[in-house]
Structure 1
């Protein structure tokens, strides 16, 4: 019986959700630059702050704040985009269940969804650079595990990294479809009630 061999863990890699990322090593910078691609200077400057003070922040990412889901898709962090998307979906569902179902209100409080959305955007802007560093390091570890004989293969790192405009559009399209579906579901009982 054949059992797949799990990839070798990279002692230098950090898991995606780690709260205190390690500082950037001098020999790691070119790998990070290869994965990030365009705009690497911005992220490296942000991540270098960790070298001076490991407990410091990495700065607020305005693009991630304004374009949360699209930015995550653009930077190929699809898992995080779907986690944030699931949080918003759960919040909207709970609004309907709690306020309309359990409490019998005609509609949920109108400011609740924008407040939760704004909170998610602030968290995304504040944590984006750390999330991206963890993601880039994970890509580097995966490429190294896939090509152990070529640990510094910059072309393989660039292929796995970079940006994905189609990914950003896909995540945004999914959000619009979900918003349309949620709006349709929210209006359906009211339409039936008014018509009946």
Structure 2
């Protein structure tokens, strides 16, 4: 038995609603649909739950006033703990969409070789600012979609309350989805684990078992150092080595030479003399006009 006005579940034989005080009749022995008068407002109140007055104020909805909903208003919760707030309010689709957009951005930065920690921070801050300013309207849109979907069926008050409200487990779900994003992004777009990554060239002073013993990136001028790499297809052959000096917004070729190894070689190591000019350098291995391996070292 449910109250016809607020949708609160009643004990059998109750004469008045224990929540809103509305007299109860025998007609309420079954689930009763939400009243059609102000149905959107009543439904939204049932959907949000105890904190409906807060959101009604943020949306600019006054009781009985059906003016235009405010699309921009500030919400500290959605700004400070955006994903957890979305999960708490059962907006799992929004979490999924945001993380998918982040994955796409990660992919583009990986392709353009433009990743930097500051970019990650900027993207995260921008996302949370948008949630801060648009979170309330996002919640309104989410609630209205859910309510309209229920209207196509029985449209019972209890169904609206179950569809909306809050879910503490949604907070844990948001952490789980974020962790899944981190794992997928690391596997796909990390320079060491990605199947799309260019093979890395290692540098160092010593070779052990055919590999750089202690990889290092910082060297002095005109030192003899080792470099090593693997052929992506595990096939040797002819290749070209190019060393570029990296400037602020460009790179220029410092040195280059061609070499060749037996076709069955999976990788190799060799030596070269570091440049006499201080700065950042990138060594590239080119095979059939394609960069198959690269690495960065510094001359200090």
Fold-level match, TM-score > 0.5? yes
From 89, 114, 120, the counterpart of 2:127: 120
Per-residue deviation, 1:64: 1.0
TM-score between both structures, scaled by the size of structure 1: 0.70
Normalized per residue, the structure richer in strand is 2
1:114-166 CA deviation, whole Å, 9 max, x = no partner? 1011111111111111111111111211222110xxx4x32111011111222
Normalized per residue, the structure richer in helix is 1
Cα distance in 2 for partners of 1:143, 1:55 equals 21
1:10-64 CA deviation, whole Å, 9 max, x = no partner? xxxxxxxxxxxxxxx9443221111111321211111125859737544111111
Q: Tell me if structure 1 keeps the 8 A contact 2:74–2:133.
A: yes
Q: Tell me if structure 2 keeps the 8 A contact 1:60–1:129.
A: yes
What do you get for the CA RMSD once the two structures are aligned? 2.7
TM-score between both structures, scaled by the size of structure 2: 0.47
From 129, 135, 160, the counterpart of 2:163: 160
Q: 1:53 to 1:157 in 2, by over 3 A?
A: closer
> SS at the partner of 1:188?
coil
Please, which runs of 5 or more residues in structure 2 have no aligned partner? 1-36, 203-211, 213-227, 229-300
Structure possessing the higher radius of gyration over alpha carbons: 2
Q: 1:141 to 1:52 in 2, by over 3 A?
A: closer
Aligned to 1:21: none
Q: 1:56 to 1:35 in 2, by over 3 A?
A: closer
Moved more, 173-182 or 84-93: 173-182
Please, which runs of 5 or more residues in structure 1 have no aligned partner? 1-24, 101-107
